Structure 1
Amino acid sequence: MNSRRPRITLLAGGVGGAKLAVGLASICEPGQLSIIGNVADDQAFHGLWVSPDIDTLTYTLAGRIDSSKGWGLADESNRVLDGLKRLGCDSWMYLGDQDMATHIMRTHLRQQGVRPSLIAQRIAESFGVQSNIVLPTDDRVQTRIRTPQGWLSFQEYFVREQCQPEILEIQLDGLERATVTAEALAAIREADLLVIAPSNPIVSIGPILAIPGLGQAFALSNAIKIAVSPLIGGATVKGPADRMLSACGYSCNNLGIADCYADLIDGLIIDQQDQAEADALKARGIDVMVTHTLMRDTADKARLAGELLQFAQGQLTEEKQAC
């Protein structure tokens, strides 16, 4: 990073990723921040293509998110879903009436052959989002989870089954046919700072980095690379990341997070409750910042984003001195 405002690219999925995106957006100028979101949670419901993580990013950055749930739109109604219930349709995936409009538009444009990346940009612009929301691939890649009851889509596991079944295996369907978008490669290539949000490293960040060509571009970038741990006191604030780490053979602590991002990051931001792990992380050659990582409100999000930028600037200064 130099005297001009740094170009930042954030890899994000889910609620934690959206919160940090808001924090960074609050201290960035328009065009300074790009966010590569997770599309492996996408699934069709009622004939509509739903992209939960991308929509959560969009709605959160637009200030339209239902803050009580962390997803969906505020001031929502559900008359369409009630009607579908009366008709005997599965209704375990909550989709509000305003939210349905997003999915109708997305599905209509996809059927017309419009690239998903352009659709995501159009939806973000319609909500007044100024940050650049980027898809890692325009191809269909979907997380599948094997349980004792069989294979489930991510939404079946996460929403319908409430993350209760034992996880036996996690895989990405469609990965062998996926290609990275030019927009994602440009966002990584042009970044001065690459940030991994406090998102689930297995099913939110992992699918982004797994897209052929994207993980390699991230690894080869000369940008400063910092991850924010999703763990506080060895557990997640929300979601099954801790159980998924264990199921995939990683320790459910910040050393496990570091293992997920081995050879990819220069620094890791951890919560004060986990300060005892800092020395072990530093012994691995990872710079560590210890702070309060829980983002309860707008001030917390902006504070953490500001501290992240200061941490990155400190790493750059150290690199220059080493040279």
Structure 2
Amino acid sequence: MTRAPRIVVLAGGVGGSRFVLGVRGALRARGIDDTAAALTVVVNTGDDLWLSGVRLQPDVDSITYALAGVNDTERGWGREGDTERVNRELQEWDAGWPWFTLGDLDLGTHLARTGWLREGLTPTQVLERMSHRWPLGARLLPMTDAEVDTVVVLEDGTRMHFQEWWTRHRATLAPARFENPGIEHVRPAPGVTEAIAGADVVLIAPSNPVVSIGPILAVPGMRTALRDSGAAIVGVSPIIGGKVVRGMADVCLTAIGVETSAAAVAAHYGARSRDGVLDAWLIAEEDDALSAEVAGRGIRSLVTPLWMTDAARSAALAEAALGAAGL
């Protein structure tokens, strides 16, 4: 291939942020300077919510901040060096959620976004405007312009926003299911299906399969776009050695009846040849014994180091994913 490959990544959360950074790093290592023309990231917006009158998009902001180099790498979310003066004042007014921290710099992002939304811009247009501030080296698209916030339904029937269940309760309340009310009536954001149709490879980041990648795939038309695309579709396991890398994805998987294993998550996504979405699946060296099981599902399995502990390892993982697609 003489031109730069056209890459689409489906991503959300910290794992998604690190992987997208790795893909951009792999492109730069190949001598591709205009990575923004080569790399499109379709971001989960199921985590979004309204809080204290402003619209928050946690996954969008995490990936934006990571690409801009201004993210808090210790916490995995928010801005580096942020302060919480406004958040403390909100708590004095008994406003918002005392267990959900809004940093001052982060709040500036939310205010700007909300103002643009109030002026009539769509989330896609807002994200495009946000991307002008920093040289991100990628085009970011929300999965949809509609509001389809994730709701957790507990075993006793109680319903709560995903962020309350995840951040306040740390996923300790047993979920019966996850819903995105109204998602069956929405459509992919402008440019999403076009990017998938024109891609050489679609990469599914090692994000939470249930609440990060799940909502993206649930948008009507998304699975069809993936199945119809001429691109190779390569996924990266978020499970290493039978354990989640970060967060509480194991609780989410258990709720939908999926074992916490690299092979089980591959089966959950399914082979594209069998009405699923995967052509190939990257698993960790610790899970080498599962290769045959993955292959038995009709998915090509490749064993490679998956730990993204620094920029070089993240780029190496991304390069392995591109290699799996023959690029």
Partner secondary structure for residue 141 of structure 1: coil
Partner secondary structure for residue 142 of structure 1: coil
1:66 aligns with 2:79: no
One-letter amino acid of the counterpart of residue 196, structure 1: I
After superposition, give the CA deviation of every residue in 1:179-222 in whole Å (9 maximum; x if it has no partner).
Answer: 22221111111100000000011110110111111221012111
Partner secondary structure for residue 132 of structure 2: helix
Deviation at 1:260, TM superposition (A): 1.9
CA contact 1:78–1:97 (8 Å) conserved in 2: yes
Partner secondary structure for residue 269 of structure 1: strand
Question: Which of these residues, 35, 53, 62, is aligned with residue 56 of structure 1?
Answer: 62
1:81 aligns with 2:98: no
Which stretch shifts more, 286-295 or 35-44? 286-295
1:34 aligns with 2:40: yes
1:104 aligns with 2:117: no
Q: How does 1:249-264 map to 2 (within 5 A)?
A: 249-262=257-270, 263-264=276-277
Q: Partner residue of 2:24?
A: 25
TM-score normalised by structure 2 residue count: 0.93
Deviation at 1:148, TM superposition (A): 4.2
Q: Partner residue of 1:245?
A: 253
Question: Which of these residues, 117, 129, 149, is aligned with residue 122 of structure 1?
Answer: 129
One-letter amino acid of the counterpart of residue 198, structure 2: E
CA distance in 1, matches of 2:233, 2:184: 27
CA contact 2:233–2:278 (8 Å) conserved in 1: yes
CA RMSD of aligned residues (A): 1.2
Q: Partner residue of 1:320?
A: none
Q: Partner residue of 1:276?
A: 289
CA contact 1:234–1:242 (8 Å) conserved in 2: no
Question: Which of these residues, 305, 310, 316, is aligned with residue 303 of structure 1?
Answer: 316
Which stretch shifts more, 226-235 or 211-220? 211-220
Which stretch shifts more, 156-165 or 24-33? 24-33
Which stretch shifts more, 7-16 or 167-176? 167-176
Q: Partner residue of 2:194?
A: 186
CA contact 1:116–1:138 (8 Å) conserved in 2: yes
Which stretch shifts more, 283-292 or 44-53? 283-292
Q: Partner residue of 1:138?
A: 145
Equivalent residue pairs, number? 313
Deviation at 1:129, TM superposition (A): 1.4
After superposition, give the CA deviation of every residue in 1:50-108 in whole Å (9 maximum; x if it has no partner).
Answer: 00000001000111110001110001011000111122223211110000010001101
Q: Partner residue of 2:273?
A: none
Deviation at 1:121, TM superposition (A): 1.3
CA distance in 1, matches of 2:263, 2:315: 26
Partner secondary structure for residue 206 of structure 2: coil
Q: Partner residue of 1:152?
A: 160
Deviation at 1:119, TM superposition (A): 0.2
CA contact 1:188–1:217 (8 Å) conserved in 2: yes
Which consecutive unaligned segments of at least 5 residues does structure 1 have? Answer: 315-323
CA contact 2:26–2:316 (8 Å) conserved in 1: no
Aligned residues: percent identity?
Answer: 35
CA distance in 1, matches of 2:165, 2:60: 19
TM-score normalised by structure 1 residue count: 0.94
One-letter amino acid of the counterpart of residue 50, structure 1: L
After superposition, give the CA deviation of every residue in 1:6-28 in whole Å (9 maximum; x if it has no partner).
Answer: 10000001000110100111122
One-letter amino acid of the counterpart of residue 297, structure 1: D
